Amino acid sequence: MKMYLAAMLISVSTAASADTLHLVCLGAGAANRQSSTSAYGFDSNGNSAWANALSDRSVGFDDQVDVEINEGGASRIRLPRAMLPRLRGGKDGWFELADVKFSDMSITGTAQVNFINSPKVHLDRRTGHISINGKAGDFSGECRKFDPAKVERAF
C-alpha cells in the first residue's frame, strides 16, 4: 500500500511539472536610461545661475531571459537586469507574468515589475521569438525549451 501511494505521489508531481513550459531566451535589447547635465553661468554684472538638464538615452545590452509558463497556474519571468528599475518587486529576480493568454500562434502577458512598469511579453510559438517592450526598454531574442530535471551541465 505504501509503495502504491508513493508511486501515485511521484506521478502526480511529475504530471504537475510536465504542465510547466521552461524557456531560456538569448538576445539583445536597449535599456532606457536617464542622464543629467549641470551648468553654471555668470555675467559681468555679478549675476550667476545654475541649470540642470535631464535627457533620456538608450543603452544596448546582450542578456538572457528565463520564462516559466503554467497554463493552469502562476507563470513567471526573469528579465534582463538592464531593464529593471531601482524600485521593483519580484522575488529572487523573478516577476509574475500576469494576463497570460494562449493561442496556437503565441503566448502573451505582462511582467509585473512595479506599479508603473509592466512590460508586455510576446512569445511566438512557431519561431521561438520573444519580444519584451516596456518603459524601461526593449528586448528581442530566440527561445528554446528545456527540462530542468534533464538539463546537462556545461561543466
pTM: 0.73
- pLDDT tens string 9-65: 333 333 444 588 999 999 999 998 877 888 888 888 888 888 888 877 888 999 999
Per DSSP, helices labelled H in the chain are 2-18
CB neighbour list of residue 61: distance below 8 Å, 6 or more residues apart: 28, 29, 30, 31, 80, 82
The overall longest dimension of the chain from CA atoms, in Å, is 97
- pLDDT tens string 23-38: 999 999 999 887 788 8
Task: Quickly count: other Cβ atoms within 10 Å of residue 124's Cβ.
Answer: 14
Residue 118 contacts residue 134 (beta carbons within 8 Å): yes
Scan for cell 518603459, then name that residue: 135
> C-alpha cell of 85?
528599475
